[in-house]
Amino acid sequence: MAKVDLTFGKKLKKYGAIDFNACYNCGTCTAVCALSTEMDSFPREMIRLSVTGQSEDIKASLKPWLCYYCGECTTYCPQEAKPGELMMSLRRYLISRYDWTGLSSIFYQNLTAYIIAFLLVIIAVVGIFLSGTFSKESFMHLGHYFEMIAIGGVFLIILLPNLIRMWRFTLLSKNINANIKHYWIALKDLFTHMFTQKRTLACNDEKDNKVWWFEHFILVIGYLSLLFTTVFLNWFGTKSLVVISMGYLFSAIIFVVTFDFILRRVKKDSTKTTFSHFTDWFFVIWLFLMGLSAFTVRLFLDFNLLERYFWAYLIHITVLAQWALIIVPFGKWMHFLYRSFAMYFDKIAKLAKTGQH
């Protein structure tokens, strides 16, 4: 017998959930959802679990990740319980549940703590620069090293353990009889969903869903490419014209697309951009700043201005450090991994269930 936990709902409100207690269980949301299937029916089940506070069931569920938030459920909900936003906040909640450090949970629920963390990073970066230990050139070298170390470190210390926890919660705990072959076959799904987000296209309604998908798609590609260009092709140090122009292109993609995403959230032009948690704002704005500052730094380098306007690099490396140390490991960035791994795990579970080899 499950116990009702009413405090859970209050907690969820800090993650951005609104009005889900208004639900009278008619099932309209589930019926209109283009992604909901007989095997995976949502979001009403998730609302029910949230209202009654079944946090362990929610922790073990992949359904919040199966929703790509087109917002139809919220548009048609007869009780205005905003099921779409509940699914969004459940994803934020799950990010903090998967995180072994517990920092995500603090950051999501507490804006002050979040801002303090951002300030600490600024102090650290500016402090190192002002200490005078490094010349401008070696400071930039240090920055490059930091990028490589941060990627490796965050991956090994945060991303990998958290993914393993997610796997334990959602697959292992359910006694799903999956063998190695299922894991192998399903890999295709993992990469398809990771790099194409094609499930978004199955969402209907919300007039410019396809435009939104395309913007998001090139943003992901642009982001990954810029990461590769700066870290492995040493964009700020290279003489290769090809690499330099690639970097310009990718960073421009990032700040142009994120500028549009910020605009959408300001204009609240669709259901999914109407309700923004503060972490959403940080996410889009920091990504925008990162693209723009990287672009500026390379521009200054090309016109030999960086020596004089070194603050541009200082801003860039600060934004980057905040991104790599706070937003990536403990925030919205993780949806890149969790969404695709959720599709992967879901496929494995389905393969195991049907006994397919």
Partner 1 sequence: MPFAGKKLYDALVVGGGIAGIESALNLANNNLKVLLVEKDLTLGGKMIMLSKVFPTLDCSACITTPKISEVARHPNITILTNTNILQIEKQDKNYFKARIKEKARYVNISDCTGCQLCEEACPVVVPDQYQYDLVGRKAAYIPFNIASPRVASIDMDNCVLCGACEKACPTGCIDFTQEDKEYEIIAKTVIMATGFNLFDPLKIPRFSYGNSKNVITALQMERLLAPTRPYNHVLRPGDGQVPCNIAYVLCAGSRDLSVGNPICSQICCMYSIKQAQLLMGALPMADVTIYYINIRSFGKGFEEFYEQAKGMGVNFVKGKVGKITETDNGNLILWYEDINQGKVIEKKHDLVVLSVGVLANDEPKKLIQGWEKDEYSFAHQKDLFYTPSLSSIEGVFLAGTTSGPMDIPDSILSAGSAAMEAIRYVKQTSIDL
Compare residues 78 and 152 and give the one whose CB is closer to partner 1.
Answer: 78
| DSSP state letters, 15-70 | TT--SGGG-----HHHHH-SS--SSS--SHHHHHHHHHT-HHHHHT--HHHH----
CB of 77 to partner 1, least distance (A): 6
The residue written with tokens 């995403």 in the block is: 261
Contacts to partner 1 by CB under 8 A: 24-33, 36-38, 41, 44-45, 75-80
CB of 37 to partner 1, least distance (A): 6
| Cα–chain center distance at 78 | 30
Amino acid at 287: L
CB of 348 to partner 1, least distance (A): 21
Compare residues 31 and 126 and give the one whose CB is closer to partner 1.
Answer: 31
Is the separation of the CB atoms in 270 and 261 below 8 Å?
Answer: no
Compare residues 271 and 318 and give the one whose CB is closer to partner 1.
Answer: 271
- Distance between CA atoms of residues 285 and 255, nearest Å: 9
Q: How many CB atoms lie within 10 A of CB 112?
A: 8
CB of 79 to partner 1, least distance (A): 6
CB of 24 to partner 1, least distance (A): 7
Compare residues 27 and 152 and give the one whose CB is closer to partner 1.
Answer: 27
Compare residues 67 and 190 and give the one whose CB is closer to partner 1.
Answer: 67
Sign of torsion over alpha carbons 350, 352, 353, 354:
positive
